[in-house]
Each structure stands twice: as structure tokens, then as C-alpha cells.
Amino acid sequence: AFESGNWEGMAEIMTEVRRRYAYSRYARLAELRMADANYRQEKYAEAITGYKSFVHDYPNDPEVPYARYRVAKAQYDSVSQSALLPPLEERDLASVNDALVTIRQYLSDFPKSEYTRELAYMQAVVMGLLARHELYVARFYLAEDNFKAAIMRVEYALRTFGDSGLEPEALTLLGEIYMKQKEPEKA
């Protein structure tokens, strides 16, 4: 049922497994497959809740690293670049921050995991999004002639997201701000 995308049938089967074998490993795995089903249906919030619940309820289960990886992946995948929404740098990026925290925690706790390479890539993308947001806000402050706030945003981006790949753009923007302040030596 899971492989064929029969979500209703799969939910019935997993609920029955959880009811019949409540204290077995199969009941725990049924919970995990329910979260997987939500993920496959792109119900990311429900999937994240299911994975987090699994980790919380069964902290010693051997599937905990997998569940934590899936939390990070669902958070990452929930960051949408839909044409119907404004660009990411113009939106509230709380979910992107959550994804970065989750990814960093996973990489710290499981540095030799089979998911390390994929999560490192996701971390780089998320850091780039967050750095781009900071530079967007800095440009807004620059347009409003709020130089101090603009400088603080750029410096924060450089300090916090130093490996984002946007360092040249950030430094150029910082130089532009100092030039507008008539401080060519700092620029």
C-alpha cells in the first residue's frame, strides 16, 4: 500500500499493526511509516510532527537517526520557491532557521552518517538563503539611509553565514554603504 501510494489503505494497515502489536518494534515502525507517508504526500508539517514524536517516544530505537534525518529533510523541502509566493528573501524565514538548526544538530550528533553529504549540501543551501535574506534587508536599510542598521545586517551575515558563498556580495555592499556615508577609507 505504501509503495503504490494507497495512503488510506496504508493508514488502515498501520493503525491495525499499532493496535494489535502495540508493544512490539512493529508498532514503532508503523508510526515511522505513517510519517513517511505524510512526507511522500508533501504534508511536511504532519511528517515533521510524526518524526519528532517518534524520536521523543523511542529515543533508543535504532531508527532514531533516520527519523531525525527525515525531520531535517522535511524542513528543508518545506521551504518553497513557488511562483505564487514572494521571493524567499522577502518572507519570514523562521522555517529556514529551524532547518539550519536541525541540520547542524544532526551533523554534530551523527558526523559519520550515510546522510552527512546530503545534509552538508542542504546546510549550504539554507545558509545561502539566510545570508541572502540578511543582504536583502541591508539593502532595504541602505535605501532608507539607515546606514547603521545596514552595516549591522551585513556584518551579521558575514559573521554568521561566513561559508554561504555570498561573502563577495556582502563585502561589496558593505563598501557601498561606507561610500554613501562618505567614509572611503573604511570602504
Query: pLDDT tens digit string along 155-180?
Result: 999 999 888 888 999 999 999 999 99
pLDDT of residue 150: 95
pLDDT bin (cut points 50, 70, 90) of residue 16 is very high
Alpha helix ranges (H) inside 5-146: 7-20, 25-40, 44-57, 64-77, 94-109, 116-143
Buried b (16+ CB within 10 A) or exposed e, 57-67: ebeebebbbbb
Fill in the DSSP letter of residue 85. S
Average pLDDT, integer, range 12-18:
92
Average pLDDT over residues 76-101: 75
Percent of the chain with pLDDT over 70: 94
Reference 179, options 108, 171, 81, 22; nearest CA is: 171
Residue 80 has pLDDT above 70, yes or no: no
Give the pLDDT confidence score for residue 86 in this predicted structure. Answer: 65
Q: What is the pLDDT of residue 165?
A: 85
pTM as predicted: 0.82
Query: What is the residue-averaged pLDDT of the chain?
Result: 90
Which helix (H) or strand (E) segment holds residue 185: the answer is: none
Q: List all residues 6 or more positions away from 113 whose beta carbon is below 8 Å from its beta carbon.
A: 65, 69, 106, 119
Q: Has residue 185 got a pLDDT over 70?
A: yes
CB atoms near residue 49 (< 10 Å) = 15
Write the CA distances from 165 to 35, 61, 129, 172, integer angstroms.
Answer: 34, 38, 11, 13
State the pLDDT at residue 28: 92
**Cell reading at 58:** 523511542
